[in-house]
Structure 1
Amino acid sequence: MNIRSKMIAEVKRQQVEFSPLEHIAMSYILETGASSQQMLVESMNKDKAQIARIVARLLAQDLIIKQENPADKRAVLLELSAKGKTLLQRLDDVEMEILTDMLQGFTQSESQSLQLLLDRVSKNLG
């Protein structure tokens, strides 16, 4: 809960409307360099309508931009805007601060053990 509230506080400080799904979508776009809406549908396992709403909200806030797809002139690619990159970097910084606070007092070995255990829990959950 504490992590979520810190992330929400940072989003408010940045003066944007932003959900966890939008964060995931922007992270994927950053990771791939440019993405189509269909790529987001497949990677996030969400329906087209839900992805269309996410993209519309991100476009309305100038967090992403549409670019013509050079391989297919009928399609567009989504890229992060400068504002989107700044927001994502700030959220990553906050996340790193939270992780640092969470692991304070842990040895390197304990941190690694915790990571292994959490990875196993994540795999067990599917």
Structure 2
Amino acid sequence: MQHYESELQTLLINTIGGLKASMKNIMKEKGLPLSPLYFMILKHIHETENCTANYLADITERDKGQVTRLVQEVVNQELVIKTQNPHDKRSQFLLLTEKGLGFYQQLAKADKAVLKEMRADVSDEELKKFLEIGAKMLTNLHAINDKV
């Protein structure tokens, strides 16, 4: 009997590693002094209205201290600004600056090209099924982690 679990683990780790390597290469090629994690932070800030550091910690499943340091770094690089949350004086909304939006747009375009190449010869139907299965597995992982 075949043990597909090990193959699945290898596939997922190699896929994530390959995506990170592609993004690192694109960022280096464009002279952007960021890592793929920073791209994900910029992406979430861009796509989320009233984005906060707590939201980023939740969505990226990173601890709040790490996210605070990441946010501070993009603020220091003038890619993001903080604005006061009018509904909660203890939190701040994160917004991309013009410079941050420019970085994000360059990276998003390159990211889209990599993802398009990655799914070459994969039909929409195959991709949809893969995503459905992946979502089930992720739900299972969350259930396991919630028990611990």
TM-score bin, normalised by smaller chain: 0.7 to 0.9
Q: Matches of residues 30-109 of structure 1 in structure 2 within 5 Å? A: 30-104=46-120, 106=121
The aligned amino acid for 2:28 is: K
Aligned residues: percent identity?
28
Q: Is the 8 A contact 2:23 2:36 kept in 1?
A: no
Cα gap change, 1:32 to 1:100, in 2 (>3 Å): closer
1:32-65 Cα shifts (integer Å, max 9, x gaps):
1232222222222222211111011111111111
**Structure 1 contact 14–87 (Cα < 8 Å) conserved:** no
**Matches of 1:54 and 1:16 in 2, distance apart?**
15
Q: Which residue of 2 aligns with 1:120?
A: 133
Q: CA RMSD in A?
A: 2.3
Amino acid at match of 1:112: E
Distance in 2 separating the partners of 1:45 and 1:102: 25
Deviation, structure 1 residue 26: 1.8
SS at match of 1:78: strand
Deviation of the 1:122 alpha carbon: 4.5
TM-score by length of 2: 0.68
Q: Please say if residues 65 and 78 of structure 1, whose CA atoms lie closer than 8 Å, have aligned partners that are also in contact.
A: yes
Q: How many residues align?
A: 123
Q: Which amino acid aligns with 1:119?
A: E
Correspondence for 1:25 among 21, 28, 41: 41
Return closer, same or farther for 1:61/1:13 CA change in 2, 3 Å cut-off: farther
* Rg larger for: 2
> Could you say which structure has the higher strand fraction?
1
Measure, in 2, the Cα distance between the counterparts of 1:34 and 1:44. Answer: 16
* Cα displacement (A) at 1:14: 3.5
Structure 1, unmatched stretches of 5+, are none
More contact order relative to length (CA 8 Å, sep ≥ 6): 1
Alpha-carbon distance between aligned partners in 2 of 1:102 and 1:74, rounded to the nearest angstrom? 42
